[in-house]
Amino acid sequence: MIGGEFCFKTRVYYQDTDCEGVVYYANYLTYFERARMEYLEHSGLDLLELKGKGILFAVAKAEISYKFPARLGDILDIYTKVEKVGASKIVFSYEVRRDKDNKLLALGSTVLVCISEDFRPIPLPEFVREKIVI
C-alpha cells in the first residue's frame, strides 16, 4: 500500500460478462467489494473478528462512472483508497484499470457505515481508525 492506496488484481471471468463478453455493469460492485475486503485485511482488520465483537459494516451508498468496457480475460487493477472517515462512516474510492495498458475503465465510491448487530449506526472504533490509512 502506497500513500493509502491499495491495488487488488483480478481476472474477468466468463460469469462476470454479458452475452457480448463485456463485464456486466453491476459486477463492478462485486469488484469493489472484493478490493475493499482485501484492503481492510491488508490493513490488519479481520472482518470476522470484528463481527464477533458486534462491529459490522453496511454499504449505505455506491456510485460508479463507466469509462470503457472491461472484457472477458482482461486482468484488472482495482485501486482502493479511503477518502474520508467520519464518526461512523468510511468513504472508499475505486479506480479500475486494465492491467496491460493502464486504460481507465471505471471510477467508483462507496460509503460504509459502522453498525451494530441490530443495524443501528455506531461510532467507528478507534482501533479501526488507527489501521485505516488516509
CB 45 within 8 A of CB 128: yes
pLDDT digits (tens, 9 = 90+) for 1-30: 444 789 999 999 999 999 999 999 999 999
Q: Is 18 a catalytic residue?
A: yes
Res 114: pLDDT: 97
Residue 93 has pLDDT above 50, yes or no: yes
pLDDT digits (tens, 9 = 90+) for 42-72: 999 999 999 999 999 999 999 999 999 999 9
Catalytic, out of 16, 18, 46, 74 = 18
Res 38: pLDDT: 96
CATH number of the structural domain spanning residue 47 = 3.10.129.10
Nearest-angstrom CA–CA distance, 105 and 128: 31
133 pLDDT tier (thresholds 50, 70, 90): confident
Task: Please give the tally of structural domains in the chain.
Answer: 1
Write out the chain in H/E/C secondary structure.
CECCEEEEEEECCHHHECCCCEECCCHHHHHHHHHHHHHHHHCCCCHHHHHHCCCEEEEEEEEEEECCCCECCCEEEEEEEEEEECCCEEEEEEEEEECCCCCEEEEEEEEEEEECCCCCECCCCHHHHHHCCC
Three-point CA angle 66, 75, 79, nearest 5°: 60
**For residue 87, what is its C-alpha cell?**
464518526
For the entire predicted model, the pTM comes to 0.92
Indicate the average pLDDT of the chain: 95
- The range of the structural domain enclosing residue 92 comes to 5-131
